[in-house]
Amino acid sequence: MKNRFDDYVRSLDEDVVRSVRASTERVFSARAKTLPEVFDDVDHARRQAADVKSYVLDNLKPLLLKLEANCAKNGVTVHWAKDAASANRIITGICDRVAPNGGTVVKAKSMATEEIHLNRHLTIAGHTPVETDLGEFVVQIDRDKPSHIVAPIIHKDRKSIARSFEREKLGPYTEEPEELTMQARAHLRSKFQEADVGVSGVNFAIAETGRIVLVENEGNNRLSTTVPRVHIALMGIEKVLPRESDLALFLRLLAGSATGQRLTVYTHFIGGPKKEEADGPEEVHLVLLDNGRSRVLKGPFRYALRCIRCGACLNGCPVYRRSTGHAYGHVYPGPIGAVLAPALDGVPKMGELAKASTLCGLCREVCPVDIPIPDMLLKLRSEDERNRTSEWTWFGLAARSNLLWKAGLKLLPMVEPPRGWKEFREFPRKRVDFRRWWRGRP
């Protein structure tokens, strides 16, 4: 019983696994230290955030309409995109208008733009997308894919980054993280200045005020949304929050869960295009992306839409730590990805991912919005017809008949253990028969 996931892990370099393990463990312990320092009762905070998100999912339609109306009041143009194709059409359309002969589009880190493969579409349309988050920048120049939703180059070491920077002529060869970072800074400065459009994701959008909230540590997000003449924000429809007063809870949980910070370095509130300020974009567009979400919302995997993309479930997951994000073969890796990928793209296509979990339950324990990930993985497995095998049918029959069960127990020592077991482990020998002992008692 081979599978693509396990085969990918077989091909992985042990160095990569070791560094992914070290990085995830570092961030994961920072999380464990910070959250109890911030909250009296972390679990209570998680449940409250889950309640707010459940309210959002239960009332998405009116909340989105309210958001749309308040954005309009702020001078933000709202677009609706039913799928990836629509979203790409809207965004490239705006870019075509602003830069008819093709222009530079600076991009802040955004999982939603990864989901719709925006860069490919911008390139086809004759524009030049430039990723400006340091990690995403490295991914882009290497024609690689992010392997973590928060730390996209968690699978790369400094040597590989150094080689890429040398190849791209960003400066003299160096393996010093500080110098590499400064080379990227210098290179990307001119990109911000020459860009016509900046594209970002959205962390939270507030229905009652129409403000768009973005969090980041580097400053590239603020630059992307401040310097170019036009800012386009792409947001999954589930990211709306009802009130400004919900934000503090979510900001603390997001920063604490993602990196162990009390708050990210920049928490950017966008209240519309430039008015009388000295700088800022003249146009702000908000693109509301469905792309399968309204369907997921109506099914058993709706709770996955509470996700705020903190990455804590990846960092703690024993499977993610050994496999890295690329093993999942989807934009959203890790435990939440193993739910989101099949929920969004269908069980026939991505259902195998639901099996890439030991169901240890740590992901749910650390989830800031208490998503019952293990339960949903189980449910996904049950929806995958390929998991209904003759072996289990036989097991089911045997377990319902004392005669068959006893015969099965007798035969067991003669049965070969499955290949996936045998390849790695010995199988134990039975030494004591409980039933016999029980019968023989005085």
Partner 1 sequence: MKVRLMLSCLCDAVYGEVGVATARVLESADCEIYFPVAQTCCGQPPFNAGDWNAARAVAMRTLEVFDGDSPVVVPSASCAAMVRHGFALLGLTAPRQCYELCEFIVNVLGRKEWGGSVDPRRVALHRACHGRMIGLRDQQRQLLKSIKGLEVVEVGTPEQCCGFGGSFSVTHGKVSEGIGLEKLRQIEAAGVDQVVSGDMGCAMHLQGLAKRHSMDIKFVHVAQVLAEALD
Partner 2 sequence: MDDRETILDALPEARGGGVPTLSVDVKAVPKSDLWERFVARLKELGGELRSLEDLAEFAGKAMCDVDVPQSVVARLREPATDVWEAKAGVTMAEFAVAETGSIVLSATPGRSRLLSLAPPVHVALVDPGRTIAGLEEAISKMGPETGVIVTGPSRTADVEGVMVMGVHGPRRLCVVPFAP
Of 184, 265, 254, 260, which Cα lies nearest the Cα of 218?
265
Residue 284's H or E segment, with its range, is strand 283-289
Report in angstroms how near the CB of residue 433 gets to partner 1 at its nearest: 5
Candidates 45-53, 279-287, 289-297, 400-408; binding stretch for partner 1 (CB under 8 A): 400-408
Bridge-based pairing state of the strands 197-200 and 76-81: unpaired
Who's near 197: CB < 8 A, 6+ residues apart? Answer: 94, 95, 98, 99, 103, 104, 105, 106, 127, 228, 229, 230, 231, 232
Q: Residue 142 binds which one of partner 2, partner 1, none, with CB within 5 to 8 A depending on kind?
A: none
Report in angstroms how near the CB of residue 3 gets to partner 2 at its nearest: 30
Report in angstroms how near the CB of residue 323 gets to partner 1 at its nearest: 6
What is the total residue count of the chain? Answer: 442
- Quick one: DSSP state of residue 421? H
Q: Residue 416 binds which one of partner 1, partner 2, none, with CB within 5 to 8 A depending on kind?
A: none
Report the residue number, 20 or 344, with the smaller CB distance to partner 1: 20
DSSP-based three-state secondary structure for 287: strand
Give yes or no for residue 420 binding partner 1 (CB under 8 A).
Answer: yes
Q: How far apart are CA 414 and CA 17, in angstroms?
A: 37
Among 143, 414, 437, 442, binds partner 1 (CB under 8 A): 437
Report in angstroms how near the CB of residue 411 gets to partner 2 at its nearest: 51
Report the residue number, 251 or 377, with the smaller CB distance to partner 2: 251
DSSP-based three-state secondary structure for 218: coil
Among 143, 169, 298, 400, binds partner 1 (CB under 8 A): 400
Q: What does the per-residue mask of binding to partner 1 show for 13-42, with x meaning CB under 8 A?
A: ----x---x---x-----------------
Q: What does the per-residue mask of binding to partner 1 show for 346-385, with x meaning CB under 8 A?
A: --------xxxxxxxxx-xx--------xx--xxxxx-x-
Cα-Cα end-to-end distance for the chain: 47
Which residues ranging from 184 to 203 are in contact with partner 1 (CB under 8 A)?
Answer: none
Which residues ranging from 265 to 324 are in contact with partner 1 (CB under 8 A)?
Answer: 316, 318-319, 321-323
DSSP-based three-state secondary structure for 114: helix
Tell me the backbone φ, ψ of residue 110, rounded to 5 degrees: -155, 120
Residue found by looking up tokens 């190849």 in the block = 167
Report the residue number, 70 or 323, with the smaller CB distance to partner 2: 70
Candidates 69-77, 91-99, 176-184, 402-410; binding stretch for partner 1 (CB under 8 A): 402-410
Q: How far apart are CA 238 and CA 74, in angstroms?
A: 21
Report the residue number, 285 or 330, with the smaller CB distance to partner 1: 330
CB 23 within 8 Å of CB 316:
no
Which residues ranging from 316 to 335 are in contact with partner 1 (CB under 8 A)?
Answer: 316, 318-319, 321-323
- DSSP-H helix ranges across 78-219: 84-98, 111-115, 118-124, 134-141, 158-167, 177-194
Q: How far apart are CA 189 and CA 223, in angstroms?
A: 9
Report the residue number, 5 or 303, with the smaller CB distance to partner 1: 5
* Exposed/middle/buried for residue 17 (C-beta within 10 Å: 0-12, 13-18, 19+): middle
Report in angstroms how near the CB of residue 398 gets to partner 1 at its nearest: 7
Report in angstroms how near the CB of residue 229 gets to partner 2 at its nearest: 14
Which residues ranging from 98 to 117 are in contact with partner 1 (CB under 8 A)?
Answer: none
Report in angstroms how near the CB of residue 22 gets to partner 2 at its nearest: 7
Report in angstroms how near the CB of residue 10 gets to partner 2 at its nearest: 24
Report the residue number, 133 or 352, with the smaller CB distance to partner 2: 133
Q: How far apart are CA 210 and CA 242, in angstroms?
A: 10
CB 200 within 8 Å of CB 107:
yes
Binding site for partner 1 (CB under 8 A): 1, 3, 5-6, 9-10, 17, 21, 25, 316, 318-319, 321-323, 354-362, 364-365, 374-375, 378-382, 384, 387-389, 392-393, 395-396, 398-400, 402, 405, 409, 412, 418-421, 423-438
